[in-house]
Amino acid sequence: VFKNSTTASKAVAQEIAQLIKEKQKDNKPCVLGLATGSTPKGLYAELVRLHKEEGLSFKNVVTFNLDEYYPMEPDSIHSYVRFMKELLLDQVDILPENYHIPDGTLAKANISKYCNDYESKIEAAGGLDLQILGIGGNGHIGFNESGSLQNSKTRLVALDHITRVAASKDFGGLSNTPRTAITLGVKKIMEAKRVILMAWGEGKSNIIAQSVEGEVTNKVPASFLQEHNNAVFVLDKESASKLK
Ligand code: F6R
């Protein structure tokens, strides 16, 4: 628990920088699972600063984003492709062939094969060294909504009403907000060697308490992380305020 989201984001950025450098020394790729949304913005700003001001190189970094709305054009202001490029990928020296974000432009018939291939690419890269997560008000991780199974695969999902309401302010109303998305499944998240879930603000305090101290249940997919052997929740004082 950190005093605020800025110090927390900097600590997570330091851990990532350390991991990247260790892998560099061993001539190995550093495979990161990344999230979008408001939570990781401070983290990405700090990683960009470390690149620009302290020479942190991303040449050995391979990334896989958790999710993308479907359908979604990559150049839309709402796309997670655009979000990632603007906030991180275009600001550092990562090689374009090394980042991966689910494709929101696929024909429906091709999604299932695409999702299997996405998981195969993660495996071929050696698995996720570190998965960064935010958490939805309903306990979703990625877009694995309430009811998602612990062994769920990467797939097309229907977004919960509560998720769509949260997104609707960006989309200019609920009727413009996508109903579906492609998400990395819970299984691949749980296979990551380390998981860091970040959450800020009073609004997340109830779901954080349920995820950390409540029963492990598919009603709250973040609660599955209790069964991960190397997962941490990085919180500010407000989001941690309902923990015992
Ligand atoms: C985004 C994602 C979501 C968000 C969650 C929290 O890639 O996977 O699970 O992390 O909805 O969103 P914010 O950070 O906007 O509160």
Q: What is the mean pLDDT of residues 122-138?
A: 98
Ligand 1 pocket residue status of 198, Cβ below 6 Å: no
Q: What is the mean pLDDT of residues 104-127?
A: 98
Q: Above 0.90 for ipTM, yes or no?
A: yes
Q: What is the mean pLDDT of residues 117-127?
A: 98
Structure tokens at 173: 């109303």
pLDDT band at 185 (very low <50, low <70, confident <90, very high): very high
**What is the whole-number distance in angstroms between the Cα of residue 142 and the centre of ligand 1?**
7
Cα distances (Å, whole numbers) of residue 158 to 19, 65, 155, 162: 35, 18, 10, 12
Range(s) of the domain holding residue 217: 5-235
C-beta of residue 226 within 8 angstroms of C-beta of residue 216: yes
- Atom 10 of ligand 1 has which residue's CA nearest to it? 134
Ligand 1 pocket residue status of 240, Cβ below 6 Å: no
Structure tokens at 218: 């598919």
Concerning whether 202 is annotated as a catalytic residue, the answer is no
**Nearest-angstrom CA–CA distance, 41 and 88:** 9
Task: Write down the H helix ranges in the chain.
Answer: 5-25, 41-54, 80-87, 111-124, 161-171, 186-191, 205-213
CATH number at residue 131: 3.40.50.1360
- In a domain? residue 17: yes
Ligand 1 pocket residue status of 139, Cβ below 6 Å: no
- In a domain? residue 242: no
Half-sphere exposure of 13 (CA within 13 A, CB side): 21
Give me the long-range contacts of 116-124 (CB less than 8 A, separation at least 24).
116/153, 116/154, 118/64, 118/154, 118/184, 119/153, 119/154, 119/184, 119/185, 119/188, 121/64, 122/31, 122/64, 122/188
C-beta of residue 33 within 8 angstroms of C-beta of residue 184: yes
- In a domain? residue 243: no
Q: What is the mean pLDDT of residues 221-231?
A: 98
Counted domains in the chain: 1
Q: Residues 15-66: pLDDT tens digits?
A: 999 999 999 999 999 999 999 999 999 999 999 999 999 999 999 999 999 9
pLDDT band at 108 (very low <50, low <70, confident <90, very high): very high
- In a domain? residue 240: no
Phi, psi of 2 (to 5 degrees): -110, 160
Q: Residues 153-183: pLDDT tens digits?
A: 999 999 999 999 999 999 999 999 999 999 9
* Closest-lying ligand 1 atom to the alpha carbon of residue 163: 11
- In a domain? residue 244: no
Ligand 1 pocket residue status of 204, Cβ below 6 Å: no
